[in-house]
């Protein structure tokens, strides 16, 4: 992993956007994996700015979302289908028909999950996946206990995830208890991954993901098995990293030597 510790969310957004811009400009037709929730919003805003002010084009891109709530139709104000359009894709030149997500309203969630998983492979796989991480270590909706080889499937959300997401709904009782989520095995098939997190409430999850044992207890730790992951965290989110000084040293030397750092 390359671990980048930044001063604040704005600097982190620029680092994440740099990764996106490199892939979009260099890869030709590209498949992006898009996360929802609060973690990637600042990066999406920076990418929108680069599109409008610097000509960064997404015209050759298509996208797959990580997850969707079960029981919410696409037009629901809290659906991730709607979220990604309101916060990112409707503000750039990506074809809306190529922004794909699981159907949370499907009559058979398990069959829909399998269909969606196949569709990612049929598109050639994801070139770049952006991720956030939950305070309990989940990525996408892979809660603690998820198989490290899991595929896209229906998942039951933990009480902590429901509590974290309740702020987006009228009440805690309105938060769906089920979601369709790409599995940890699905996510790790992306050719490149960038994960971003801010805030002290993410510090333990980040430390376990980067430096802890690979374990279903901390699903994000599965990313240690991926060959090309960039982790971008602010000082608060990185505050429990025991090797923080080393990560800063790696970053400094790599910048001086024009290398791509890897821990």
- On whether residue 239 sits in a domain, the answer given is yes
- On whether residue 263 sits in a domain, the answer given is no
Domain harbouring 115, CATH code: 3.40.50.1360
* Number of domains, the chain: 1
- On whether residue 192 sits in a domain, the answer given is yes
Structural domain boundaries enclosing 90: 2-257
Residue in 46, 67, 117, 192 annotated catalytic? 67
Reported as type and span, the H/E element at residue 44 is helix 41-54
* 249 in catalytic set: no
Q: Kindly give the confidence (pLDDT) of every residue in the chain, 263 residues in length, as a single tens digit, with 9 standing for 90 and above.
A: 999 999 999 999 999 999 999 999 886 799 999 999 889 999 999 999 999 999 999 999 999 999 999 998 888 888 999 999 999 999 999 999 999 999 999 999 999 999 999 999 999 999 999 999 999 999 999 999 999 999 999 999 999 888 888 888 888 888 889 999 999 999 999 999 999 999 999 999 999 999 999 999 999 999 999 999 999 999 999 999 999 999 999 999 988 887 665 55
* 117 in catalytic set: no
Model pTM score: 0.94
Residue in 2, 138, 165, 234 annotated catalytic? 138
- On whether residue 46 sits in a domain, the answer given is yes
Residue in 46, 51, 127, 136 annotated catalytic? 136
Residue in 46, 103, 112, 143 annotated catalytic? 143
- On whether residue 262 sits in a domain, the answer given is no
* 67 in catalytic set: yes
CA distances for 124 relative to 5, 101, 120, angstroms: 32, 16, 7
- On whether residue 138 sits in a domain, the answer given is yes
Rounded CA gap, 11 and 6, in Å? 6
Reported as type and span, the H/E element at residue 30 is strand 30-34
Taking a C-beta distance cutoff of 8 angstroms, is the pair 161, 141 a contact?
yes
């Amino acid at each position: 992993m390359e671990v980048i510790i930044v001063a604040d969310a704005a600097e982190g957004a620029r680092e994440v956007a740099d990764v996106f811009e490199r892939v979009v400009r260099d890869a030709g037709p590209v498949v992006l994996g898009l996360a929802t929730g609060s973690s990637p919003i600042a990066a999406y805003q920076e990418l929108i700015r680069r599109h409008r002010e610097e000509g960064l084009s997404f015209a050759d891109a298509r996208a797959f979302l990580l997850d969707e709530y079960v029981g919410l139709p696409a037009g629901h104000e809290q659906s991730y289908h709607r979220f990604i359009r309101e916060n990112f894709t409707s503000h750039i030149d990506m074809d809306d028909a190529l922004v794909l997500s699981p159907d949370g309203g499907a009559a058979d969630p398990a069959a829909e999950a399998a269909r969606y998983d196949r569709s990612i492979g049929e598109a050639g796989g994801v070139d770049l996946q952006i991720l956030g991480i939950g305070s309990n270590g989940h990525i996408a909706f892979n809660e603690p206990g998820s198989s490290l080889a899991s595929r896209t499937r229906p998942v039951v959300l933990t009480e902590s995830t429901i509590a974290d997401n309740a702020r987006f709904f009228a009440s805690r009782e309105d938060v769906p208890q089920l979601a369709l989520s790409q599995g940890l095995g699905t996510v790790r098939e992306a050719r490149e991954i960038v994960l971003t997190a801010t805030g002290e409430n993410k510090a333990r999850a980040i430390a376990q993901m980067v430096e802890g044992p690979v374990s279903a207890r901390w699903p994000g730790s599965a990313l240690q098995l991926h060959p090309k992951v960039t982790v971008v965290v602010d000082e608060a989110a990185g505050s429990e990293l025991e090797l923080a000084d080393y990560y800063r040293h790696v970053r400094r030397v790599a910048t001086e030597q024009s290398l791509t750092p890897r821990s």
